[in-house]
Structure 1
């Protein structure tokens, strides 16, 4: 029994271990994974997480800091997201803006209410706000450049009445000089030194000046004689409290400067709301309506007559609107307009700025709500001025028809093609005369007229152009007729000849009569230095009137020789025909210089020209003076061009396209492309073997663009990857591969030992091999680079797979226990 329990516990432990080893790589664990190793699916999960957190592309650095990702990996992450086209999703992140309005009007100070009441801008506009924006006049309160601020630097108005907290400036000058800066007390007095209190509350500036002058005359006798003068002015003004009520955006009590007007008060409160009137704004003082302000007077005529200066405790009341109508269509300012009782549709049309240039003025269509349903009303032009309005009316001004009443068109081979106005009894002859006649290249045998018939089906009428010009045939025109006179040039395919090969400007050229081969070569810029004057080939089109099934020829090809000076063609003069194709071959004995480069530890480094197609690396070393004593031939490398010529590039690209289609992940495609598209590729050579045995298999033939680099003797070894302290160490022949690893702190926990490899100084790569159960590491040489890769991050098993494995293990355990029981 104990043995059974032990077996069951063993298999259950195995099942739990399997569950525990299922990793889950989430975006929050990206700091443990190299971005280059992430799949496209994992990148999409990262983008999803950033979207949930309302992060955009500009926040990737912040996201990386939160996850502990280095800045270099964050840049890679940006590049991957952009390459996959996911940056557009992150760029849709909403941005919020706030607007704060300064309530300090100028250098004159006054008390103000909470500035949040002046914020007129909302980011998320409701349907009510949208409707309000359509109301004529509402834009005044949404324009941050228009504030209706009172001008506090203007001369004090004559009717301004002093009150508590006003600052009174008294300037006495003449025989006596003195200045006083006094503030009106809460009881309405100012206290003048040596004079005493003077009551000024409720006085205008003129009245206050007279009273103050009279009091000062008691101590300055020269005032009455005119030798001393008194000037009274207003300094800092007081604040007043105004109550705004009714249909207004933000009703309440506001503290404003004492020079504020009705328009100032409306602006700071946001103006009338959706139901507020723009034309019936009352100012109530001491229980009486003292004025009614109409904003339309200001908007349409600039009239601010009723925009009075407010006083303390005034009430501004915005009444509900009575009549509103909407005017749309071909008018200058489509909007919702408020109308007074005695106004007509003409007044609304005037408020809208009138008709546009393309409007239909004979009739305005209206839509009205009666007691039971809607109805359509037509307002003729002669009734607009007297048409009475009803609240809720909608009017639409239509546009004129997009057609012409008398248009005819002439095009083609005439001197002045275009549109013309049709005159009574006008003919095609008259139209051509208006177009200044036909051009020289006009085809006179046939022209056409495009016409719409009475049932609006199109028709084509042909005519003889010569007969029409001479007046022999008269063809009457109709509205919207289009006359076409064809050009002989347009009716013929453009003749060309082409030349390719060894000329300075290959390509196509217009054909001309009596054009010879030598003429075309001259037009192409002449022959290149590599051109051969032998075996020039001309391909000519076959023009046969009859079909012969036995004749399979597709072109007429001629080969000929020309003289070097293009003076003549050997044997005959070749007259070209339209669409001839000429090819100038390269001289078979012509070769351009092919250059390559050798650098490093040779006696004469630099650029060399390849002498022959059989020249090898050993020949170049000999030409460069041989190796220097400090040269390290084992580390020499050869850099060779990726593409030898354009044909190699096209062939390789076609093969790579098939390979790219097999790759599923964008990171793999990107890395392969970057490796292939490099201008040069590293080709490992064994220069030490080449010097020992020239002409051997190691001694490669040279090609154009090759670069050979011979380094100095190398004395170090570099370690990369999964070691605790990657560094460069001194080369020691007595050290083995594993001793170098121990010198760098040893393997890390994620090191993949069996995949370790060495890149030698000459570019040769050797990897670790498995011999029986042991790793056989490559030999370390001077200048080598040791790479220890990391273990791949396993994606793990799904929950269903884990459950299946656990169930299977438990079933096996149960079977084994049953078998053991039966054996006993």
Structure 2
């Protein structure tokens, strides 16, 4: 309307003043009016409809995408020969040829697949392969000259019960792509004392499957970790601790004892031990079997044949309480080593040659002693040394305390207080005084420890406050005893011992022995003196002498 008014005004002006510019403006206004009329008429409505259709097309595409089945997390591609079809599974049926159609088919709660223009096909309980074949045959009875394909595009959901020894028993949602172990994890894992190898899956048709949770964890074995079905009940029993065990020892990666599971074989037990080591002597393994009468039977095994037959007839079935022993190969190239720690410039373990490398060589390999090293207190240990039998030691241990002589009692105490495996070495004489008679040949596993100065002396035995007292150069044993509170009432003051820290040597104080940091001053207990026993011994001795004198006197008359 505004343009029309403007045009009328310009026409009126043109009659009064017919100028070319005014004529051009009137023509432009007419063109503008035609454009506005075009978009204000049905053309404008058509454009709006096009915009609306475009928006609806986008929304419908989004809805169609939202209607597709949610993708499942799979540990492997679905095997059509073993996957069992059930209500809720989604299949895609494609027809190619004279007809080109595709249908998305959801298996009904009754277990049927409804195919448009064809009819229903009962597929629940069939394997995916069987269901595909049955549906294709049904379609080809209706349509000729077409290619038919059936594809699983969505997995069904259902519920499974988890009961027994789990952290949170209950009913849990599951999908056909999940396995038993997945539901155990959903139940927060196994409870303390639960069986790991005798878990059962009870199915609606009465079938019972055995699940081996431990073998799946140790060896990644899926054979005893099946896929789930509708209505499954997972039962986790209590583990039997006293009976029903298997053991594997020696040259395996993870030796130990495991629960027995029905159907266990030799190869299963080796897999539980995570396989044999590279240094296993496969030709010389043994199976120890407990017979019903309590006797033990030894069965020789050749694991090379077991692996060669993969696993074949050598994979013998196992029984509860079986034990398998796999020997190690002899290793002539094993590297021997010794360790030196403490106040050393380069502490650590060093390769040695048994029978050739000496203690001085080891110290040299480690860069020598640090300035703070206390050679007086340094010690050498041989941890793999055999415990040599000591018949006299055993006699003293088995004897009653009252029957021991004082010296025997002291020897027993010194042996029992000693450090097992300590090698007698005087580091001061060897490294400062160069007395190489103190040098020692090293063996595999030997260790040397060089401490910093302890600056204490241990006062033990019959003192008021036994323990560590500060070291002070030049102090006597009596002065150290005073620092420990003095002698107790039972102290044997005339028999005091000094135990050297480095060598463990026991010496009786009384001379001018130097007391050094780390030494031990030991004050024994005074032996009990029974007056009546002493008097009785004197009387018996005098009587014996008198009797002897009387006999001799009578014989000479």
**TM-score, normalising length: structure 2:** 0.37
- TM-score w.r.t. structure 1 length? 0.27
Greater per-residue helix proportion:
2
Q: Which has the higher contact order (CA 8 A, sep 6+)?
A: 1
